[in-house]
Amino acid sequence: MWDWAHFKGEGWLAHTKRSMTLASLLLVSGAAMILHALVPFWQQPEWLRADRVSIELQHAMRKKE
């Protein structure tokens, strides 16, 4: 069953913006990894590398708490 209370503290709009930001970051970084696999000499920008994406996700989750 769907629980609407999971974004009760931050509001629907803030929750949606944060979710879309994180989803976009994951999708773009995934596309960058695929491009890097196809074109090995291309290096992802620092903010799209797996370790930076992981740090950003952890920071966003801590900020939510």
What digits encode the pLDDT tens for the residues 31-55? Answer: 988 988 899 887 888 888 888 889 9
Indicate left, alpha or beta for 11 from its phi (over 0: left) and psi (-120 to 50: alpha): left
Residue 4 has pLDDT above 70, yes or no: no
Q: Alpha helices, DSSP H only, in the chain?
A: 12-38, 50-64
Model's pTM, two decimal places?
A: 0.71
8-31 pLDDT per residue, tens? 677 778 888 888 999 999 999 999
What's the confidence (pLDDT) of residue 20?
A: 92
Q: Cβ distance 56 to 26 under 8 Å?
A: no
What is the residue type of 61?
M
Share of the chain above pLDDT 90, in %: 17
Q: What are the tokens at 59?
A: 């920071």
Q: Residue 19 — φ and ψ, nearest 5°?
A: -65, -45
